[in-house]
Structure 1
Amino acid sequence: MCRFGTTSDVEYRKVAAALERIIEKGLKSKVPLSADDRIKLIDLLRFDQIAYRHASIKAAHASTCSWLLDDVAYKAWLDTGLRSTHHGFLWIKGKPGAGKSTVMKFAYEKSKRIYQQSSSSIVLSFFFNARGERLEKSVEGMYRSLLYRLLTQIEGLQIDIGDLVLSDNMTWNVGALRGLFESAIRNLEDRRLTCFIDALDECPLKEVQELVKDFQTLGQLATELGVSFSVCFSSRHYPHVRIQKAIEIVLEERPEHVSDIKKVIDQDLKIGNDGDDVEYIRKEMVERAQGIFLWVVLVIRILNEEYSDGRVHRLRKRLEELPTDSHQLFRDMLTRDAKNIDELILCLQWVLFAKTPLSREELYFAILAGTEDEVPEWNRAVVTYKVIEKFILSSSKGLIEVMRGGRQAVQFIHESVRDFLLKDNGLATIREDLKFNFRGKSHNSKLAA
């Protein structure tokens, strides 16, 4: 310090600030979390739906998504030598239905496998889920999930709980959780922490804005402390939320992503392999998809059904009839035929407006209660879970699925289905009287059921 002329010297202030941070870190680490408090804290952080969304995301098709590992931007994110340029942030963006969650699950699980033998590398994830319960779609749930996994994976990690009183009847707030997470970052020492945070757009906008701001501060802090803290976000194109230093990957702009779409079509489209029409259909699907995996999955299902019904001669025409816009495609699926319309409406309404996600049997009997004169007692030998799932798939015309893992609740196949029904008044395309006061009519229908 004697090399500096005065305390106002710019270089002196830099060194002094660095020393203050080192001292502050040392002071914080002198108050260890007791074993009892640690157990209680872990128990208070845990919640039932902590891994539901991750479990419900389908794994990537064979040989897809692997391009990400060789992507220049992805490699730059992993390069610790470039940390000062991006502060450890990567943001994967894409249109609704582009396949962001599948790519994130692939990247997370690949990172887990790479670092699973290293006790100094921790890989965490949180997948926001707007179709789930409160903690699945809130920043509170995200922090609780990340902290729970940190504390259960690193036995010696110290966290300063400050004035926080740990009790069974306590309620968490984001400020306290954010403070605990910052304390964990400060005490990582030589460990490497990587977080994959999926679907920011499925969390309320104000919460996301605060989250990004907080993580930006944490990224800067980690860089100054020399701590290896990396975060990969994913979201739709989000004009209202930005981060100053981050690397971006836009899925639909990557030619490798388009190649993945072609691979899925080649693997899953079962309409024969010969003839000019088949080749035309495959190429046309790649073009019309515009990088949207959800569109491809739905169109494959439609064309496969046409082929199974013997309508080979109509495949080309059917494809040309299908809109390229996902919302328009949902409309086409809902209005294609008039079979079981009451079942369809009730099915969509229950999933759309239920306070908490329904189990498959709850939805099954709710639909029957609203459409049948009498609801028979459940004979499990006849009405098996497989029968119930087929009924839900048929009643929803393919727009509702059963989640795997947990209590196997039902949900829309994608958040854009909810957007279509709520923002585009989608049920009015089925029945005109649902065009106005949609929520009120839905509520009345459910009361009647």
Structure 2
Amino acid sequence: MSVDTLLLQRSQIGLFRTLLYEMLKGQPELIPGVFPEGWERQSHLAANDLGIPPKDWSSLGQLQAAFRNLIQLAGPHLRFCVFIDGLDEYAGNAEDVAEYIEELADVWEYTKFCVSSRPWPVFASIFEDSPGLRVRDLTVDDIRLFVHDRFTAHRSTRRLFQYEAQKAQSLAREITQRAAGMFLWVYLVVKSLISDVRDGTDMSSLYCRLCSLPVDLEHLYSHILEQINEDYKEESSRIFQMF
């Protein structure tokens, strides 16, 4: 998969292209109502065999207008349930796309949206009147248990936790709090901290090390890559398709 394709998938344009495709591929009879101007134009071009290329539907505004048309077709006999995972991961203005979705959800009763994201203030503000749950509230006990098990499974960290139990508990609580429900973040951070202990890092320095680590995955990945030996960075870049 090319970098351009990856960037498109992580864009709001890619999001609405995907939503339109997935929702229309099973009901192609809705297409004329979703793209009325484009459908009429293409029908005219096809009927007259003019050989003119189809209109480019590549702008975010055009795609959002088409998506709105699709949602407006919903009714008692046609209902939509739209799931969007990781709304915070799409490039672009987060506030705009959140307000757009909230507006559609408020106006069209036959369409429901289920959206997930990291707990950014902009999303908390816009969706504050909508039903919701925090993943971190559901996973906090599992994360706490995972952190304890991982640290006590290794001899070096187990000794450190025994001799400095109070600081160790404080460290575990901080990891759990910073995780915000993200298990992958916990896994990577705990693995890194265990490596630091093996290199001789004491508990106080370990806590400082934790505080220096990014709390979001994207920046954490970048931080990890920066720590890779220069001799292996090119190979790592190819493996992770960074370039």
- Bigger Rg, which one: 1
User: d(CA) in 2 for partners of 1:274 and 1:320?
Assistant: 13
User: d(CA) in 2 for partners of 1:156 and 1:276?
Assistant: 64
Q: Map of 1:147-158 to 2, 5 A cutoff?
A: 147-152=20-25, 154-155=26-27, 158=30
Structure 2 counterpart of 1:324: 211
Does residue 209 (structure 1) correspond to residue 109 (structure 2)? The answer is: no
User: d(CA) in 2 for partners of 1:236 and 1:402?
Assistant: 30
Q: Map of 1:221-260 to 2, 5 A cutoff?
A: 221-223=107-109, 227-239=110-122, 242-243=126-127, 245-252=129-136, 254=137, 256-260=138-142
Distance 1:157 1:220, change over 3 A: farther
Instruction: Pick the aligned partner of 2:15 from 142, 145, 152.
Output: 142
What SS does the aligned partner of 2:191 have? helix
| Aligned 8 A contact 1:201 1:236 in 2 | no
What SS does the aligned partner of 1:319 have? helix
Percent of aligned positions with the same letter in both sequences?
Answer: 14
Instruction: Pick the aligned partner of 1:264 from 115, 130, 146.
Output: 146
Larger % of helix: which?
A: 2
RMSD: 4.3
Structure 2 counterpart of 1:199: 87
Which sections of structure 1, spanning at least 5 residues, go unmatched? 1-46, 53-131, 348-363, 365-387, 393-400, 404-408, 412-449
Q: Map of 1:35-114 to 2, 5 A cutoff?
A: none
User: d(CA) in 1 for partners of 2:150 and 2:17?
Assistant: 38
User: d(CA) in 1 for partners of 2:213 and 2:126?
Assistant: 26
| Aligned 8 A contact 1:137 1:203 in 2 | yes
- Cα deviation, 1:174-206, whole Å, max 9, x if unaligned, reads 23222322232233434442312413364322x
Distance 1:49 1:180, change over 3 A: farther
Distance 1:257 1:148, change over 3 A: same
What SS does the aligned partner of 1:204 have? coil
Distance 1:169 1:150, change over 3 A: same
Q: Map of 1:247-396 to 2, 5 A cutoff?
A: 247-252=131-136, 254=137, 256-266=138-148, 268-269=150-151, 270-272=153-155, 277-278=160-161, 280=165, 283-289=169-175, 290-292=177-179, 293=182, 296-306=186-196, 314=201, 316=203, 319-327=206-214, 343=230, 364=234, 388-389=235-236
Structure 1 residue 266 displacement after superposition: 4.5
Structure 1 counterpart of 2:242: 410
- Cα deviation, 1:423-443, whole Å, max 9, x if unaligned, reads xxxxxxxxxxxxxxxxxxxxx
User: d(CA) in 2 for partners of 1:183 and 1:303?
Assistant: 51
Distance 1:48 1:184, change over 3 A: farther
Structure 1 residue 212 displacement after superposition: 2.6
Structure 1 counterpart of 2:36: 162
- Cα deviation, 1:126-183, whole Å, max 9, x if unaligned, reads xxxxxx52x234322111011111123x245513121114545624222322232223
| Aligned 8 A contact 2:87 2:115 in 1 | no
| Aligned 8 A contact 2:57 2:63 in 1 | no
Which sections of structure 2, spanning at least 5 residues, go unmatched? 43-52
What SS does the aligned partner of 2:36 have? coil
Structure 1 residue 246 displacement after superposition: 1.5
Larger % of strand: which?
A: 1
Distance 1:291 1:257, change over 3 A: farther
The letter for the 2-side match of 1:203 is A
TM-score by length of 1: 0.38
**Per chain length, whose mean CA-contact separation is higher, i.e. which structure has more relative contact order (CA < 8 Å, sep 6+)?**
1
Structure 2 counterpart of 1:41: none
Structure 1 residue 276 displacement after superposition: 5.8
User: d(CA) in 2 for partners of 1:251 and 1:138?
Assistant: 24
What SS does the aligned partner of 2:68 have? helix
| Aligned 8 A contact 1:199 1:236 in 2 | no
How many equivalent pairs are there? Answer: 212
Structure 1 counterpart of 2:65: 179
- Cα deviation, 1:38-72, whole Å, max 9, x if unaligned, reads xxxxxxxxx9889x8xxxxxxxxxxxxxxxxxxxx
